[in-house]
Copies of this chain bind each other. A is one copy, B any other.
Amino acid sequence: MSVQVREGAPSGEAELAGLIADSQELTGLVDEVRSRLAGRWAGEPSLLARMCAHAHTPPGKLFRAILLIESALAVGGDPRWALPAAVGAESGHVASLVHDDIIDGDDTRRGRPAVHTAFGVGDAIVAGDALIFDLFAGLAECRAAGASADRVVAALAVVSRCGIDLCRGQSLETELHGSGRFDHETYLNMVRLKTAALFRAACECGALLAGGDPRQVRALGRYAEHLGVAFQIRDDLLPYTSSAAEVGKPDTSDVRNGRLTLPVIIAHRASGAADRAVIEAALSGIGDPATARADLSDVLHRTGAVTATAGWARRYLRFALAALHALPVTASRARLAGYAEAAVGRDR
């Protein structure tokens, strides 16, 4: 299978929408997730409800909800049993964005003020907490939607474990930040925890709630893990290949936060003393972030790190696609492959 990462492409939103549009059933389910999210905090005048509604507006591309629904379909189950969990998956994702934006000092999200910008840090912490609780409220609702109690408990175990992994990954990123350790292995470990854990939770939950067997659940877990890594690597590249308008957040976040992203690690290892000094200065947090990003971008392109990083994304994309072979041949399986290609950015 030959897959090429299209450098500088937006994040595959159009491809994702195109794939969903192919299935009337899926389109209906995703519309229902969107409408339930829009209604979830409506009609409640409280500050908490206003913050949670703000965090869900505009809705994202609902990638985790789509993965959850598609995993339910891929094991031949009834996706409606898993629908409340799909709504919850989006709440959990948005919770992590609300807290991340505080931690990273990112003032805008999806082209508008982040929750902490609009409501203050203290209240935004509380809003993120509520969205985590709402993730679990969604899981509980799957029982009434038709999932067996044992399946809901199995999904609860997966989601709570993956949630802790997500936190492990975020803390590990802080540890790396100060360490100056430019190595791939630690990076991949961090990304598996920080980004892939919620993808894994979504896919395993969808498969579990819809009655998938253990082999299918494991296959979708592997798919999700590799997809998550590929997705994060792609995300690492965006500040150096896209404009802020496309990404919807300031593309200086990674340099401001001194993040040891994969392109930075690759460039550092490939560089001589002069370029290493440029990289370290750019990540030091001293000086203008936009200039730092431009300096770093120059080194990353010049040393071939951008191209090499795209190669790593392709590699994990191939792993994700291979994991799908354990599933029955269905339109869902084909779309899961398509989502992975769209997320990483397929060459057309």
Please, how many angstroms separate the alpha-carbon atoms of A188 and B178 in the complex? 46
- A338 CB to closest chain B CB (Å) equals 31
* Identical copies in the complex: 2
Task: Please list 18 pairs of residues, one from A and one from B, whose beta carbons are closer than 8 Å in the complex, sorted by A's number.
Answer: A46-B168, A46-B171, A99-B126, A125-B128, A127-B167, A129-B129, A129-B132, A130-B164, A130-B167, A132-B133, A133-B160, A136-B163, A137-B161, A141-B157, A143-B150, A143-B153, A149-B150, A152-B153
Please, how many angstroms separate the alpha-carbon atoms of A128 and B140 in the complex? 22
Interface string of A156-193 (1 = CB under 8 A from B): 11011101101110111011000000000000000000
Please, how many angstroms separate the alpha-carbon atoms of A129 and B103 in the complex? 13
In the A-B complex, the 9 residue pairs with the smallest Cβ-Cβ separation, listed nearest first, are: A133-B163, A149-B149, A130-B167, A103-B122, A137-B160, A48-B171, A140-B157, A136-B160, A47-B171
A283 touches B (CB below 8 Å): no
The verdict on A128 contacting B126 (CB below 8 Å), with A136-B159, A149-B148 known, is no
A227 touches B (CB below 8 Å): no
Residues from chain B with a CB closer than 8 A to the CB of A140 are: 153, 156-157, 160
Please, how many angstroms separate the alpha-carbon atoms of A99 and B133 in the complex? 14
Within 8 Å by CB of A126, from B129, B141, B170, lies B170
Beta-carbon nearest neighbor of A174 in chain B: B123
Within 8 Å by CB of A137, from B129, B164, B171, B175, lies B164
Within 8 Å by CB of A47, from B104, B137, B148, B175, lies B175
Residues from chain B with a CB closer than 8 A to the CB of A99 are: 125-126, 129
Beta-carbon nearest neighbor of A48 in chain B: B171
Please, how many angstroms separate the alpha-carbon atoms of A328 and B167 in the complex? 43
Please, how many angstroms separate the alpha-carbon atoms of A153 and B153 in the complex? 7
- A303 CB to closest chain B CB (Å) equals 30
